[in-house]
Chain A
């Protein structure tokens, strides 16, 4: 029935329904879908990338990075600064002493993750990086970038699983490569 004023009434019923259901419907079914930051957070999807981090296996001394400098060369805004550690004798040890990434320059492209041959640098999900000034405190040192492999598995399970599988097979192949020559030698 198209009586005069029926559209007005229908419109008001729609808003009333919206008002009442906003109190008890879940976000997916037409309720309020606001995520009240900072008390609630949205779960990040796995491939979200924000800022790089360095992976260590077990303890922070067993860092995977060997300070090859490929990510430093490939980084488009040149925000990475690496210095290799020196041995007790003065020879280069395959570990970085200084690994600085400037948060102000980093554009979150993920190229450092793609080019690393040692699976040591990956893109983190953490975006709440703040500093009172940008010259000194926004340059994140190695200490701030080190995160454990367990953390890596938590935030990016599928990629971490693939990387772990790859490293395990590489380990086993290396062990198998060492063993048979030993057995063949012991013959």
Chain B
């Protein structure tokens, strides 16, 4: 029984090794390396868009159920062919480029935004031994690559020569830069406690203890996870942080002037970003691919799926943030909280379990109370009119 489970667990790794072994019999070594890279690349290139397509369907169904209606259920059973219909629609739409636009940059922006979204797939540990490239600076690579995403947004908004696009692009860029800093700092405790930047090592550092060693069950882990999750939602421009693409306010913001396949590429980048960020959140705080009985890649996808459902839940629940609330939340609330979180990690490292919990709760309580008091929004005083008695 355990042998069967182990076989299913390592089925993908074993399949790739078998193919390479087969080719290694009659091909020189460097071609085998090339084929290995190609297989990994092709798998990621197929996995990314397929995940994105079915994520859009999942979102529409879940949002529909939250809003007391069915999601799409006409195209295929349960709407399972709906993403394909959407894809066909996007392919066959006319590609409109504004006459005044900067044609080269208008074309390059959607292409350039998909590249970082796909590159992050390389360091996500999908299962035991299934990280595509086991970089030893994996997490830093992820942070660096996700900071490139801001440039294509600028490109898209500037090349459209449209006031709404420009405003949307500026707001998006400001939002993404602001939320990158708490995201990076929220990840630092996980790095501190697992002594490594490699994603696989961080997963292995949460091993043992029947899941109680996951970083989320520590005081700094809970705070870090919540902050990372909120910043991840903001990085993907998902509601409630979707002011840049708010249909009711900015006519779709920086991707106003894009139609057809270019818009599909922007859309694809947003959903792939959402998937990878949820995947990284599961890796860093929820123990990655660890779990009993089921194969490791199933655990990973399950945890990521739950986190994506929570993101979709956010979308169905909250109204949009106003832009000044958005920035204030990042700079004045989340950033100090992440710094205090790093302090809590140090406390956890150097004291024992119970004392650390008590100390952490005390410090957290005081700091949250202070931050909430300092972030009170300005309520103007009630005016009095002479005729009122």
Contact = CB atoms under 8 A, between A and B. Distances in A.
Q: Is chain B found bound to chain A in the same assembly? A: yes
Interface of A: 4, 8, 11-12, 14-16, 18-19, 22-23, 30-34, 36
B231 to A, nearest CB: 16
B317 interface: yes
B368 interface: yes
Pairs A-B, 3 closest by C-beta atoms:
A15-B317, A4-B372, A22-B65
Contacts of B73: 36
Given A4-B368, A4-B372, A22 B68 contact: yes
Contact of A32 (B69, B314, B318): B69
Interface in B32-78: 62, 65-70, 73
A36 B64 CA distance: 14
A118 to B, nearest CB: 46
Given A22-B66, A32-B65, A32-B70, 12 more contacts: A4-B368, A8-B318, A11-B317, A14-B317, A15-B313, A18-B67, A19-B65, A19-B66, A23-B65, A30-B68, A31-B68, A32-B68
Interface string B312-348: 0110111000000000000000000000000000000
23 contacts: A11-B318, A12-B313, A12-B314, A15-B66, A15-B313, A15-B317, A16-B313, A18-B65, A18-B66, A18-B67, A18-B68, A19-B66, A19-B316, A22-B65, A22-B68, A23-B65, A30-B68, A31-B68, A32-B65, A32-B69, A32-B70, A33-B68, A34-B70
Interface residues of B, number: 15
A60 B314 CA distance: 62
B321 to A, nearest CB: 12
A12 B62 contact: no
Contacts, number: 38
B69 A34 contact: yes
Contacts of B318: 8, 11
Contacts of A23: 65
A12 B70 contact: no
B29 to A, nearest CB: 54
Interface in B168-212: none
A157 to B, nearest CB: 33
A131 to B, nearest CB: 24
Nearest to B319: A11
A5 to B, nearest CB: 9
Nearest to B316: A15
Contacts of A36: 70, 73
Contact of B62 (A19, A30, A32, A33): A19
A23 B70 CA distance: 10
Contacts of B70: 32, 34, 36
B226 to A, nearest CB: 10
Contacts of B68: 18, 22, 30-33
B3 to A, nearest CB: 39
Interface in B338-375: 368, 372
A114 B218 CA distance: 78
Nearest to B368: A4
B261 to A, nearest CB: 32
A4 B368 CA distance: 9
Nearest to A11: B317
Contacts of A8: 318
Nearest to B69: A34
Nearest to B371: A4
Contacts of A4: 368, 372
A180 to B, nearest CB: 67
Contacts of B314: 12
A59 to B, nearest CB: 42
B310 to A, nearest CB: 9
B370 to A, nearest CB: 11
A63 to B, nearest CB: 42
Nearest to A30: B68
A15 B68 CA distance: 10
B382 to A, nearest CB: 20
A30 B67 CA distance: 11
Contacts of B62: 19
